[in-house]
Structure 1
């Protein structure tokens, strides 16, 4: 069981994918890159080494598309690049879908010169104000994820200090925050980082 958090919990859980992915404690998840021939692009584990999620990439697809699977291999999210150009425009759908009715959220880079990424929930069709913001996405492979334009941090990503984990990074998900949502954002950031 996770230790009680040092972070103040959000007053209401932030559930984008589902409440089953919200923990009352902060979680440190390790995201490790795996060889494509194994079948997984990324493996997400908890502090005890238990697999929490796998991320599979679809090869030879028109759109850059990834499927986030839970520990039992069930599809949780489909992550798809909106345009086949270097951009931060991605869409995330429920399950293995790419149907607009299953859209959960999308991302957009406000400017090619900025190190931020705006996240919009599907209901936010005007996209005038973002629902979440990721800052400093290219600075030393670390970033901070905020609730909207506020100073409320919901997750942080950083590189581990251990040499044998050099192809990995750690994301701290704050209490009552949807870990599947945060992992999907990290997958998108990884792809943007590789395209830069």
Structure 2
């Protein structure tokens, strides 16, 4: 088992890349790979590595459009995603596990601009009460690709392609 790997979760396929100098831990260190990992998301919101090994999945409760759950490969709920009603920027809140308590807030995400042709989200970690986001999520040249940037910079942290 890789250092920091959660029990019962698969080790993602490794590619040859330089090591990550300053990794950012959002959910927990047990889900932090010590190397870049190529992941893909299919139309069922299952996240797999290049070998097709399930790493994460997003599930929703029956008849709920406003709540989603990020689960690890073992089915453990990592994050409870709640869509806030009546917000101009379509805000989502992410809480640890199945909690809804403010003390368990991991991050919030909202549209960067009210009107957009391509999706762009500002992501604020739970302790960030300022105006500058910790991350930006930007749709790529097609709806099936996306990049995650550090704050308001052009420093790319991750990118993905939706697998159909």
TM range (shorter): 0.7 to 0.9
SS in structure 1 at match of 2:38:
strand
Give the gaps of 5 or more residues in structure 1.
35-41, 161-167, 169-196
Question: How many residue pairs align between the two structures?
Answer: 150
Structure with the bigger RCO (C-alpha within 8 Å, sep 6+) is 1
Structure 1 counterpart of 2:84: 82
Cα deviations across residues 166-193 of structure 1 (Å, max 9, x unaligned)?
A: xx3xxxxxxxxxxxxxxxxxxxxxxxxx
RMSD: 2.2
Provide the TM-score with structure 2 as the length reference: 0.80
Structure 1 counterpart of 2:126: 122
Structure 2 counterpart of 1:4: 16
Q: How does 1:47-62 map to 2 (within 5 A)?
A: 47-61=50-64
SS in structure 2 at match of 1:101:
helix
SS in structure 2 at match of 1:17:
coil
CA shift, 1:130, in A, is 0.7
CA shift, 1:144, in A, is 1.3
Q: Is the 8 A contact 1:67 1:79 kept in 2?
A: yes
Structure 2 counterpart of 1:27: 37
Which is worse superposed, 84-93 or 103-112?
84-93
User: If each structure's helix is expressed as a fraction of its own residues, which one has the higher value?
Assistant: 1
